[in-house]
Amino acid sequence: MIVCQCQNISDRDINSAIDWMRASDSAALITPGKIYRALGKQADCGGCMPLFLATMRKNANLEVPMELRGLRARTTKDDQTCKATRKSSII
Residues near ligand FES, by CB under 6 A: 4-7, 43-48
The nearer residue to ligand FES, 21 or 52, going by C-beta atoms, is 52
Indicate the residue among 46 and 65 with the shorter CB distance to ligand FES.
46
Closest approach of ligand FES to the CB of residue 12, in Å: 16
List % helix, strand, coil for the chain (3-state, nearest 5): 50, 5, 45
Return the number of the residue (6 or 23) whose C-beta is nearest ligand FES.
6
Q: How far is the CB of 50 from ligand FES (least distance, A)?
A: 10
**Shortest spacing between CB 10 and ligand FES, in angstroms:** 12
